[in-house]
Every structure is written in structure tokens, then in C-alpha cells.
A and B are shown apart, each in its own frame.
Chain A
């Protein structure tokens, strides 16, 4: 109570200053600890850019080559650091170009604040130059959005934006600011937001649910954990590890959950879902208790819901009440923050080892290794595989690199085979499957954690969707390592055409440019590998480079990613070939 009073007195004594709305925006960003933001200037946001110029020693604005790149860079920044990513754009096309990144952040629960300029308030609704209803357009893909038309609203709205973006289940927030509000002067003071009346960031955890969950776990003969990004977002890695180790539960991950515990952890049994590992998918339909932690039973994870884990009791640790029973009916829902819930349940669970149950995972892994993994990682055929490139990156990075992937075959290979020692190391577009995500996201990741090795793994298709961000890499001297696994195809679509459309390769073949020449045009070190003998040496050269480096690996054109659960099939009907 006493500290509260002192704080309040401080706040009331806090001097207000008369400044412009645009300066206030920059001051709000500084107050929220923002050091880097990504964006693209234009008419309706120019007053804010003018302030960014004045404050450039305190806050670094990164000019991307497209507004979509700004959002993905902000996402990469957020995903590797856990901080709120910030993107900025002008009105009209600048604002609409943010939408893909915002939708991506919404579905992958990434904390992001987007700031857009808007035409002056007297012009709203007049079809003015570069006017677009960005608040209307972004509504279904934002956690919250708001339009500011008066400078005096700025501090409160900005504080709320950061609080909402970061708290609870994180997500994107868009703030649209009219140009007149940017010019208007007002008395500025800033106070962080810690509470919104109508919004409960974290639901209360029911103690009875915790003990019911513990009882199910203690009585389970074949318990199985599937964890997702919730473990990483709530920074529950230690609590999660302690929980699975004590209960002795084989644990599998969704592609956004991976890296929460080291890949080599003995209880890690791999990836669930469409291109996940054989054992966790098959045994989903054999476990007696399924414990889902910070994941949302996406259709790419569950396959056909009618045949998904029907034999199992389901426990769902979840921060978002709307996710409970959304896709899979739960027996026990443990609402709340994963970190707190896992900490609380630890003392309620018995120490177990489940040796025989673990053996089943090992047996099925052996089958997958023989039929798929061996050929992916150590191929004997002539053409290079995506898997052997990932294997080489693993060897040379010793599992310390953050892997940023784009979307498609290479993404599944990267997620399946990357070795991770550290958390927050797998950055990929999971829910939205946004091609073009990889390159700009890698820029944001590298700038947030310059001390870390950041390897961006792309396909030749997605790479060309945001290839212009090579300009950002060059200008910012961001030492991103870029690997393009080039099969001259939109590989994943081609794979589906082969399997389900009688090999009619409609618009999936790519006539590609000289990627090395393009990279060199941006003054990047660049190299192309076409033969297995060159691979290890080329990856070594890339990893040793202190600067950005581009490596193109020409891989087998028509390789497929297996295992695979065809759409509509059950997880246990996963195909190995």
C-alpha cells in the first residue's frame, strides 16, 4: 500500500510537457523500451518520421523495402526476444501492406504494435489521397485496434496498445493516427498501462482443475504431452522441463513449440502433425492421457478430429478460454498461465518413468529412421536433399543457431531436423503459412539478438516474395545467413499435385534468376552449391562469415516430405512414403 501511495504521488508530480502528437508517439515508444522499429515513411506519417530523425540516437528506425517486410521483421524481433515488435507505415497502401504480417502475428500470437498514419480527421471518409479504412480492414486480424484523432489520446492509447499486445495471449495491435493529431500540441505525460477493465489477460486457475489433472496424470499408464508455443510465450521452459521429467512423460511439440527444451532431451519424442514424426502421431491414438500445454489443436496437428485421440482423457493447459473445447473436447481444462500452472502442479504429481511406453516411441522412431530420416539426412542418391543441408547446419552451428524458415517443404524439413539448444530459436510462420516471412523475420531476429547466429532457410518460391529485403540486410549490415534450398519448384504444392492431382504441375515450376548474382548485386557474399562434396565447406564458410552471407543449394527437384498425414486422414494413418 505504501509504495502505491508513493508511486501515485510521483505520478501526480510528474511534470507534463507541451509537445506535438508526433513527438509524443516517439516518447511513448521510448517509455515502452522500444529500441528498434521497422517501417516505411509516407505522407500521412511524415511528422512522426521527422521526430524519429530527431531521436535517432535513442531509437533506431529500420527502413525495410516493403511494409510487409516491416511487419515480419517486427515479428522476428518479437519471437526471438519476447519483446513487443513495432512496425510503422503510412496511410492507404502503406497500411494495407501491413495486413499479411498482422494476420500472421494474430494467428501465431506474436506481440506486435503497428502504427499507421491516417489522413487528417476532417478528410476521414472523403476518399482523400491515400485514405483507407485501416481500422475497419484490420479489425478481424488484430487483438485490438484504435484510431486516434486527438493528440491528447496518444499516451493512454499507446500504453494500452503495448499492454494488450504483450499480456495474456499476445497478439497484434494497430493504432491509426490522423495527421492533424500528429501536428497538434498538448500536455504530455506517460503512465504505463497495467489494467483494462473489460480485459482479463490471464484467467484464474482453478485449484480443483489442477488436482483433477494431477490425478489423471498420476493414474495414467500411457501419458503423452503435446506442447506448443504457450510454453515459450509464458517463459515456462524450466517449469515444463521439471514437470515432464518428474512425471516421466514422452513429449512432442508443435512447430511453434519446438526449442522450448533442447532437441536432444531424452523425453523429446519429436513433432506432431501433418509432417511430424511417426511415433508421436501414431501414439496420439494410443495414449491414455493426452496433456496439451499451450497449444490449440490446429487442424494441421490433429488431422481428422473424429479419430483424434478418442481413447484418451484430455487435459488442456491453456491461457485463452476460447481455445478450450474449440477443436478437441477436454476432460480437464487448466486455465491460466502455463508457467504458474506447471509450477503449481509439480508437487501434486508422482515421480514415474513409464519405461515400456517410452520403448514404443523408440521402436517407431527406428522405423521412421530406416524409411525416411536416414535417406533425408544421409542420402546415397546423387541429388542433394534438403535434410542433409539442415544436418550440415546442425553440425556446424552445434545447435546454437536460431533457425528462421519460410513456408513450404524446406520449412517442414527445417522444423523436423533442426537441432536447438536454446529456447525461442525456431522462428517460422505456423498458423498463417505466409510465404515471404523468412527473410524479413530473420532481419528482425538478428537485430534483436546480434550475438546469436541467425540462419534463414528459404525455398526458391517464398524467398522471391520478399527478396527485396536483401536491401535492408545490406543497408543495416545485418549479418543474417541465408540458405535458399532451390528445387526450381513451389515444392509443397508440387508434392500435393503429384500425390493428389495426378502430377498435373499447374503453375508450380519456377524459372529462377541467378540468385547468387542478385545477392552480389546487394554486395553480399554469395555462393552456389550443386554437389555434395562442396556442401560442408560452403556451410562452414557461411557460418564463419562475420557478415551476411547467401548460400544457394540446388537440391533434388522432385523430393517429397514424409511422413505425411493426408488431409482428412487420422494421425495414426500417417504415411511414411
Chain B
């Protein structure tokens, strides 16, 4: 009686150590779960890293995996969130031929309407940056692809929760 799969965003607060990526990703790999995106950065707490992982699975499995992640020695705390519980963004960059700016004037409107911005322009190419939800980036991609995209990269999701994650208080308690 497996529940339906949903998209979850996982926030993991950890020590910043070599090898932890292996340890965390192995938890998913072992259970044959594909990681949709993964991002690691500094967090709001000094010397604590924050991972944001997007996966599709049932909530029941999600809960168990949170338990397995928290069990790792260097993991401080892990949370999972549904789409409604977070504010999230992804970032993307497009590299395109500079000629297009003059030959295909509607590109400027596409950029403006999608709230993207031009990061740099030179004689050969220009670079557009767009942050937002995956669907917005995908829309921009579709619109620009007709003109030919030289290079494209989208980042993993980054997210903050609407509710407080009680990690700072917890750290204060264990550091004491």
C-alpha cells in the first residue's frame, strides 16, 4: 500500500566535511531514489552547511529517509517540506549569440517580460540570468530556444521554509 509519490524538498544542516556528500547521496542511491537536484552552501549559522535536496517519493518513505539522514554522525538536523511549505528559487544562465540582440528584437521583450536580466554582453555573445521557479525558467528556455542557445545551465533548487526550523536553538543547546 505504497502512498503516491510527491515532490519534497529536504533541508539538511550539517558539519562541513569531506565525504558527507557521498554519505547523504548513498542513502538515496541505496533505495533506488533519483535525486532531482542537490545544492550545498553555507547556512544562516556560522560553520554549518545547508543542503537542499529535491526528490520524488511517498511521504512514508520520505519520513524514513529523514531518519536515516539524521542518523549520520555529521548531520545536525534534517527536515522535509512540501511545495506549499517553502519559498524556493532556482537560478539559470543562458549564453546566446550577440547578433540576436540586433537581428531578433523580440528577444529584448522576452527578457523584460520574464524578469530576466542581461549579465554581460560582448561582441560574440551575451549572457542572460533568470531566477525563479522551474516552470518560469522552462518557459524562458522554450522561448529562447527558437533563436538557438549556445549554452544553458540551471542550478539546483534553493529554499527557505515558511515556518521556523528550530535549528539555531537546538545548536545553542548542544553547543552549551
Contacts and interface: CB of A to CB of B under 8 A. Distances in A.
A322 B67 contact: yes
A143 B22 CA distance: 13
A320 interface: yes
B64 A322 contact: yes
B71 A320 contact: yes
Interface residues of A, number: 22
B75 A322 contact: no
A136 interface: yes
B74 interface: yes
Contact of A198 (B22, B23, B26, B75): B75
A198 B14 contact: yes
A139 B76 contact: no
Contacts, number: 48
Nearest to B17: A146
A197 B73 contact: no
B22 A136 contact: yes
Given A139-B19, A147-B18, A199 B68 contact: no
Interface string B22-47: 11001000100000000000000000
Contacts of A320: 71
B146 interface: no
B166 to A, nearest CB: 15
Given A139-B19, A140-B30, A145-B19, A198 B73 contact: yes
Contacts of A140: 23, 26, 30
B70 A139 contact: no
A143 B73 contact: yes
Interface string A129-148: 00000011001100111110
Contacts of A198: 14-15, 73-76
A136 B22 CA distance: 7
A151 interface: no
Nearest to A164: B73
A568 interface: no
Given A140-B30, A197-B174, A197-B175, A321 B73 contact: no
Contacts of B76: 197-198
A144 B73 contact: yes
A186 to B, nearest CB: 20
B44 to A, nearest CB: 16
A199 B171 CA distance: 11
Given A197-B76, A197-B174, A139 B15 contact: no
Contacts of A146: 19
A197 B19 contact: no
Given A144-B73, A198-B74, A322-B64, A135 B19 contact: yes
14 contacts: A139-B22, A140-B30, A144-B73, A144-B74, A164-B73, A196-B73, A197-B76, A198-B14, A199-B73, A199-B74, A320-B71, A321-B71, A322-B68, A326-B64
Given A198-B75, A199-B74, A322-B67, 10 more contacts: A143-B73, A146-B19, A164-B73, A196-B73, A197-B15, A197-B174, A197-B175, A198-B15, A322-B64, A322-B68
Interface of B: 14-15, 18-19, 22-23, 26, 30, 63-64, 67-68, 70-71, 73-76, 171, 174-175
Interface of A: 135-136, 139-140, 143-147, 164, 196-200, 320-326
